[in-house]
Amino acid sequence: MNFPDDLKYSKEHEWVRVEGTTGYVGISDFAQKELGDIVYVEVESVGESFAKDAVFGTVEAVKTVSDLFMPVGGKVLEKNTALNDNPEAVNTDPYGKGWMIKIEFSNVAELEGLMDADAYKAHVGA
């Protein structure tokens, strides 16, 4: 499994790549493996603000649907529209082409509550 060191991770298996006061959010390699083949990603929340841990969308795999949780509070600036035609990018490239939303942080201090790669590995037992 892949656990990039430059990302922050939530206990709900979302990751954040921080770029100043904005960041990209997706689900971890561990999460996509647990879900199986991703067939649909639903994010209809562009322009909306969410608190930390609020549901911002869903990801649908062949056998299940799972909520997507905000790892930190913020406003959804953009969604990855490429996933409309290629949801399997979440499986093949979860930290690259499989990103789900770009957000503007409402409180960058919340990033400190997320796990680094080593803590996340321990969290999932890897």
pLDDT digit string (tens) for 17-31? 999 999 999 999 999
Question: Does the pLDDT of residue 52 top 90, yes or no?
Answer: yes
pLDDT confidence tier of residue 126, bands split at 50, 70 and 90: confident
pLDDT tens across 72-120, in order?
999 999 999 999 999 999 999 999 999 999 999 999 999 999 999 999 9
Sign of CA dihedral 3, 17, 113, 91: negative
pLDDT bin (cut points 50, 70, 90) of residue 36 is very high
Q: Which whole-number Å values give the CA distances from 110 to 58, 79, 114, in the listed order? A: 22, 21, 7
Q: Is residue 3 in a domain?
A: no
> Residue 125: inside a domain, yes or no?
no
Q: Answer for the pair 97, 40: CB distance below 8 angstroms, yes or no.
A: no
What pLDDT, on the 0 to 100 scale, is given for residue 92?
A: 97
Q: Please give the average per-residue pLDDT across 119-124, as a whole number.
A: 97
Asked if the structure places residue 50 within a domain, the reply is yes
Number of structural domains the chain divides into: 1
Confidence of residue 45 (pLDDT cuts 50, 70, 90): confident
Mean pLDDT of 3-32: 97
CATH at residue 68: 2.40.50.100
pLDDT at 1 over 90: no
The model's pTM is 0.96
Range of the domain at 59: 8-107
- Residue 76 region, left (φ>0) first, then alpha (ψ -120 to 50), else beta? beta
